[in-house]
Chain A
Amino acid sequence: MNLFRIIRREISHSRGTFLMGVSAVIISVLSYIISLSILTSSKSSFLNGMQIMQADLKKEISGLEDAIRKSMKGLGFNIHIYPEKQDLSVIYEQGYGEQTMPENYVEKLANSNIVTVNHLLPRLTEMVKWKEKDQSVLLIGVRGEVPIAFRGENRKKALIDPVKVGDIVLGYELHKKYGIKPGETIKFMGKELNVTATHSGRGTVDDITAWMALSTVQELLGKPDLINGILALECNCESLDRLGDIKKEIGQILPNTRIIEKESKALARAEARNKVKRTGQTQIQNFALSQKQLIVNQSITTTLFVLIVSALSIGWIAYLTFSNVAARSVEIGILGAMGFGGTKLVLLIISRATLMGITGTLCALVISLIAVPLAWGREVFVAVFLDMSNVFILMCVPTLLACSAAWIPAIKGSSKDPAEVLRNE
């Protein structure tokens, strides 16, 4: 015979009230788990929504950037760097300047820490006569983009592909008129050149343009190591005096040059991209703020709900324990007369409530282990049940609360004078 046998027998004897207490614990533990699951699910949906929105925005921005890149290929660079003495009327008249500058200017720019421009493309341009065909040709010598050194791996993807030495790319009119196809070898100003590409009609001077390696053009024109322009694309940065900033920065590196900014659709697109990006980010921020507010509100509501349910459960268990103690007053009195000390009597009463807490918690956990994955999915289940702090709360708090609910009735019951009980009974 021991104390726990008495506890077990008493619970078995008054299992109705015991089960009512267990039900209260089940309800409060379930309310906690349900609230937690709802919050976890909301947070998860919010994060997924954010990820989707960010991915969509990134995709949209990336698409716009690609559009800019493509348009730049077609529409040209918008920053033109010319020798300082170049008369602009000549450029607007014939499309290129007659003044030259050293080719190493482009290296100077590329090796500087320039931030206002991207994509440096040196070139030497001149209208020449293709004597083999008696055809005027705008000859452009290019060496491909010169990477801006300090940007390293972060440098922009090239907009223009280089033309190798010995190769030639022909505009529409030039290959169409003479029936020249890619792969053929042609003679141009006495040089044997391999046609690597031909362009479709653009309706511009490009149609009578031939592109070659810069060194080949320098040799053909007798202008070694010289160029008559550097094309660049201004950075996609937002500045009040964009051109002023560009001129200032390039002027510090290449003092003997002049800079022209040409309006381009690409720039408008770049600005549009900035706007889309800003709008998208604002939308995401607004979405995040509203969702966070929603989660905070949800959190407050569920916390209040859990607190109210828990308070009611504690009150209910306290009431049940008071009733139990009152119903057992004679029994407690006789046990006291037999020599049961206060501690043993408190243990006798509190153990009942403790077992209510443990049984209720276990029942609620079993229900939750089945219901949570079904209602909210595996992700929420893992988040709720593999979080050690949650497990600790679930395993300990309901039982502790049940104990605390029984504490006052237990103290009151155990301290009652057995003589008073036995005399009055």
Chain B
Amino acid sequence: MSDNNSEFTLRAQGITKTYSAKSGAINVLEDIDLELSKGDFVTISGPSGCGKSTLLMVLGTLQEPDSGTLKYGDITPYGLSPSGRAEFRSKNIGFVFQDFNLVPYLDVRENIMCPGIVNPSADLEPRSSELLEMLGLTDRSNHYPDQLSSGEKQRAALARALLLRPSIIFADEPTGNLDQSNGRVVLDCLANYAEDGATVIMATHDSAALSSGNKHVQFNEGKGITVKSE
């Protein structure tokens, strides 16, 4: 895990996000409060279009809320410049998406090492080998995304998110396109990562995935959320 925020806490207060559409404004997030600590594996569930992905984007510093504050420890990411926020993201945050979003013209190892371009260091090569082995992709390291199965793609995307040992991982439906066995590998990996002291936030519909976390955020019909801890 990154040492930059060893006493890392994510605190969101009064987060509101509205999208404008032809039919009128759509309130996706309304007055959301959330506080997360190291080691939390948070699952987020709710009906489609309830705002799970938007919440991940806002918390992941990719989409500025209309109102409310977001703090990572003492840092307010939306108070930083776009480049400062990009740098913050590169050092602290990893993303995993349902559709993997691997770069099609890079092989597995190159995809995994992509975040290293922004934060180069000497141990990236051994770290990528370690991740390849951990996720069972060693013999696929020179393969391109279109030569991989869905499970392999998601494992490669997970390895990419873990390369720089971010303090927090955002996963948006990471098992949505996977069979049960591959889904299990991904969930175990995320759970282990949270156990090692990181924070994992995962939006999912998958009931097996929902049971993996130690904290659960449920989107209500009225746009509010309920946070349950186990």
Chain A residues with a Cβ under 8 A of chain B: 1-3, 5-6, 9-10, 12-14, 330-331, 333-344, 417-420, 422-423, 425
**B193 located at the interface, meaning its Cβ lies under 8 Å from any Cβ of chain A in the complex:** no
Query: Which of A12, A343, A419, A425 touches B63 (beta carbons < 8 Å)?
Result: A419
Known interface pairs A339-B87, A417-B63, A419-B63; A3-B101 also in contact (CB < 8 Å): no
Chain B residues with a Cβ under 8 A of chain A: 53-54, 57, 60, 62-63, 82-83, 86-91, 93, 95, 97, 99, 101, 103-106, 110, 113-120, 124, 160
Complex: how many Å from CA A338 to CA B89? 7
Q: How far is the CB of A365 from chain B (nearest CB, A)?
A: 29
Q: How far is the CB of A332 from chain B (nearest CB, A)?
A: 10
In the assembled complex, which residues on chain A have CB atoms less than 8 Å from the CB atom of B91?
339
User: Does A2 lie within 8 Å of B117, measured CB to CB?
Assistant: yes
User: Does A337 lie within 8 Å of B87, measured CB to CB?
Assistant: no
Selected A-B contacts with CB under 8 Å, 29 pairs? A1-B110, A2-B120, A9-B105, A330-B101, A331-B104, A333-B101, A334-B95, A336-B86, A337-B60, A337-B62, A337-B89, A338-B89, A338-B114, A338-B115, A338-B118, A339-B86, A339-B87, A339-B115, A339-B118, A340-B90, A340-B118, A341-B83, A343-B83, A417-B62, A422-B62, A422-B97, A422-B101, A423-B54, A423-B57
Across the interface, name the chain A residue whose C-beta is closest to B84.
A341
Across the interface, name the chain B residue whose C-beta is closest to A423.
B53
Complex: how many Å from CA A14 to CA B105? 9
Complex: how many Å from CA A400 to CA B60? 37
Complex: how many Å from CA A340 to CA B62? 12
Known interface pairs A338-B95, A340-B117; A9-B89 also in contact (CB < 8 Å): no
User: Does B104 lie within 8 Å of A13, measured CB to CB?
Assistant: yes
In the assembled complex, which residues on chain A have CB atoms less than 8 Å from the CB atom of B105?
9-10, 12-14
Query: Which of A333, A335, A341, A420 touches B114 (beta carbons < 8 Å)?
Result: A335
Complex: how many Å from CA A338 to CA B119? 10
In the assembled complex, which residues on chain A have CB atoms less than 8 Å from the CB atom of B97?
334, 422
Given contacts A341-B87, A417-B62, 5 further A-B contacts (CB under 8 A): A338-B114, A338-B118, A339-B91, A339-B115, A425-B99
Most interface-central of A1, A10, A423 (chain B CB within 10 A): A1
In the assembled complex, which residues on chain A have CB atoms less than 8 Å from the CB atom of B106?
6, 9
Across the interface, name the chain B residue whose C-beta is closest to A335.
B114
Q: Is the interface of A mostly helix, strand, loop or mixed?
A: helix
Known interface pairs A337-B62, A340-B117, A340-B118; A422-B57 also in contact (CB < 8 Å): yes
In the assembled complex, which residues on chain B have CB atoms less than 8 Å from the CB atom of A425?
99, 101
Complex: how many Å from CA A331 to CA B105? 10
User: Does B89 lie within 8 Å of A339, measured CB to CB?
Assistant: yes
Across the interface, name the chain B residue whose C-beta is closest to A340.
B118
Q: How far is the CB of B95 from chain A (nearest CB, A)?
A: 5
In the assembled complex, which residues on chain A have CB atoms less than 8 Å from the CB atom of B117?
1-3, 6, 340, 344
In the assembled complex, which residues on chain A have CB atoms less than 8 Å from the CB atom of B57?
419, 422-423
Q: How far is the CB of A321 from chain B (nearest CB, A)?
A: 17
Complex: how many Å from CA A420 to CA B160? 21
Q: How far is the CB of B191 from chain A (nearest CB, A)?
A: 23
Complex: how many Å from CA A335 to CA B86? 10
Across the interface, name the chain B residue whose C-beta is closest to A8.
B105
